Structure 1
Amino acid sequence: MKAPVTFRPSELYRMGLALLADEQADARDRMAHGRKGRKVSGPSEVRDRIGARFGISGRQVDKIGHVCRAAVADPARFGPLLEEMDRTGKINGPYTKLLRLQDEARVLSLVPVQGRFRTLVFDPPWAEDNISDAAGHDYALMPFTDILAMPVRDWAEDDAHLYLWVTNNTILLAPQLLDAWGFEHKTVLTWTKPDIGFGRYFRNSTEHVIFATRGTLRTRPPARSTRTDHDWPVGANSEKPDAFYDLVRACSYPPFGEGFQRTPRPDFVNLYQPAPLPALQAAE
């Protein structure tokens, strides 16, 4: 019995492109000669057929394509990811690293805004060691020293509230941040998720918010009847529930500032904005 033929991920991608090109050429030939033919496959249909033929999903084929195209466009930066994918046969890890590297270019263009806020919300892009590359975050991560150095003292009013998101893996780093930023720990809010999440040691199903204060600012009256455990729904990777922001609005005070904002909210100022273009470039 012959052993099954295996292909490197980049070879699967090239076969998919060749199949699509052949079908498009055949369709053009039939149209040129006035003959009818079967409907030409679109890219998504081709990827699903290629994936089914080799035992992977069409989504995996799509991820392979992203890595291959990035490696062609920028070999120095993304070529090692293609080499890793072909060497190991693993797709998710290199693809996640690709998205993270691409997001770093966006992050490098951001600068802190000016202003002071009575309530601050931070969901830092922690560089955790509790999840694998394949299951990791697809956005740029931030070393703890950089998180520690954020200008939170400059953003916070003398009397202010802080909501700091932490994971089970990073919760013990919070006291260092509070000390550096000039806040005092008060309590912890816990988000209990309905589905099991990522984790190397145990699978995470909870996430936490450290609530801290600066000065003498108390919470608003609705906080007196607000629980510290919440069964909020789960959205996309690292997306925080709308109900959390409703809690902040009800229990704390505007103006609200949010670092690492993923979903724009009119009443929460994004604390990191793209740097303004130089005058000559902006005029072009």
Structure 2
Amino acid sequence: MGLLIVSGLSGAGKSLAVHALEDIGYFCIDNLPPALLCRFVEFSMQSGNEIEKLAVVMDVRGGEEYGGLAEAMSQLHKSGVPFQCLFLDAQNEVLERRYKETRRTHPLSIKNRVSIEEAIRRERQMLRPIAESADFVIDTSVLSTAQLRDRVVSLFTEDIRQGMAVTVISFGFKFGIPKDSDLVFDVRCLPNPFYIPELKHKTGLDQEVRDYVLGFEESQGLLARLRDLLEYSLPLYVKEGKSQLSIAVGCTGGKHRSVTFARELYASVSAAGYRASILHRDVERNV
């Protein structure tokens, strides 16, 4: 099991980092008391648990117990448990501005009844030992949300494409366009197997329908152009920090042409290294 301890200053972007880690397959626990770290890691490593990558967030929200984090990390070392530590940092004036913009209150400011400026100063002092021993330190002062996500994903996965999940959906326009679609492709311009008696009651999941739909020059031309579009655009979505992308392919009833093309695009996206899934929304509907 890969263990990652995430810590850092309040307002530096730990929540965004956790979301990025979840997108690449980490099981994330937020605000775990340091006293429970070793026991939770032991539980996670037991046979029968399917946690392969675990990220644990610990910060000053734990109050005085946070001081036990260094001791807990030392115990992990002594037990031979390999782990890494990610620390999120930002300049004081940036943290102050973020708190004022979001109108949130610093956790130490609430507890100790001090100003945000003083709370940040105390927090930085508390976290200094962890920051100095961290394997990775990210200063988020000038990073956008997308840039922070890209940095986290690039640190903890060999292939940043794994940070974006792509769903390919076939559908019928007569039943409405899927609401969450990011890209919608209309293949009603192609010859329709519905009007071929022996294919009418089959679907794009059947080889005969697939061969018919892809047997036309215009079908091959459209498919090639859609593949080129995805090859060009998907890396741009990854770069922009998008974690989920929905590609909808529609024909009239959602049984023949759309299913065939959705299968072809799904195969291309998967072969390109993205985390892809496919859904045929209307293939079982009665036309």
TM-score range, shorter chain: under 0.3
* TM-score, normalisation: structure 2: 0.22
Structure number with greater CO (CA < 8 Å, separation at least 6) is 2
* TM-score, normalisation: structure 1: 0.22
